[in-house]
Amino acid sequence: MNINGLRIMEPSLLKSLKLLRETKEVVSEEDLAERIKEDHGYVKKALKKLVEGKIITKNGELYRYHETSGNEEFFKKLQAVYEKAIKRPRIELIVRGLLSDTEQSYPYQCYRNRVVLLKDGFAIPYLFRLKTLLKLLEDEGFDSEEIDGFLKEEIEKGWMGRVEFYLGSKDKISSPFPPCMPFYCLWFEEGSRIRMYGRIREMELVVVYHGKRISTLAAYLSKIKQMSLEELEEYKRLFRERWRSLGWSMQEEEYLVGEYPLELANPAKEYLVREKPEIGKKISDEAFHRWFTSKAYSKGR
């Protein structure tokens, strides 16, 4: 990225400018490097770029920052660039880590592995609740525009897909949507009568998938009818109207599913364990609260 013709590369560029701006004094290269605790070589390159950009002036061996409206605007832009650059790897590590490994998130021993193997040989990847992810990222300081942009990029790259669930039921269902759950193949079995909590309930489940067909979902997605956006909206309108005419209640939720190469997944998982263990605790707490405080759990007991 370039600002005023300067290529933003080393953090020492911002550190040098910040100190010169704050002190408003003439400072030598050696003194500056000592005060910002940076290598002299990096400081020398940073000062050269700032002089070339006419942000600071050099008089002999001394440097000074001149406060002008143009220089102040440059400083604010430079700060914004570095703040984004610092946050950008973190959003990648958090999202990819969560979608690559949900072991810390799901508190039940039978689902502690990210992929569950079935008797027929298919594998079940995990889904991560979109609202939970958005709340976690907002708590980490990311804004909605940055989050939406990153998720869109991941979907376009084919590393992530979005799954919408629409559940219509004759009986009002109080079951909470968990922060993460296995991607069950039974969601694609036709039929409106499903056994739940020991008795038959009349309900229908509609599943909508957005994104490229990642390999772990290939067997399941082959059963889904492909539609254009216009056809999909009309399809949603029809089943919603039918459920309303039947007097059924409706629940809907969105989840994300990821499939990352090991060179991206492993560092992200390690980052969550070492640097952000509180995120795993938040997810476990939400899973515990949603399951054990639900009426579904009480009836299931």
Q: How far apart are CA 7 and CA 78, in angstroms?
A: 11
Mean pLDDT of successive 10-residue stretches along the chain, which has 301 residues: 45 87 90 88 89 91 91 89 76 92 40 40 72 94 92 93 89 77 54 45 82 74 80 93 92 91 87 88 82 49 36
Token pair of 59 as six digits: 């008089």
* Residues contacting 24, CB < 8 A, separation 6+: 64, 65, 67
* Residues contacting 178, CB < 8 A, separation 6+: 106, 129, 287, 290, 291
Residue 219 covered by a domain: yes
Residues 149, 272, single domain; the answer is yes
Residues 20, 143, single domain; the answer is no
pLDDT value for 187: 47
pLDDT value for 194: 45
Contact by Cβ (8 Å): 128, 257? yes
Residues 42, 105, single domain; the answer is no
Residues 23, 166, single domain; the answer is no
Residues 234, 187, single domain; the answer is yes
pLDDT value for 184: 60
pLDDT value for 10: 47
Residues 115, 58, single domain; the answer is no
Residues 31, 172, single domain; the answer is no
pLDDT value for 144: 93
Number of domains forming the structure of the chain = 2
Q: Give the C-alpha distances (Å, rounded to integers) separating 234 from 2, 230, 252.
A: 46, 6, 17
pLDDT value for 199: 52
Residue 81 covered by a domain: no
pLDDT value for 175: 66
Residues 202, 173, single domain; the answer is yes
Residue 218 covered by a domain: yes
What pTM was estimated for this model as a whole?
A: 0.66
Residue 54's domain comprises 2-67
Residues 93, 37, single domain; the answer is no
Residue 167 covered by a domain: yes
- Give the CA radius of gyration of the chain: 26
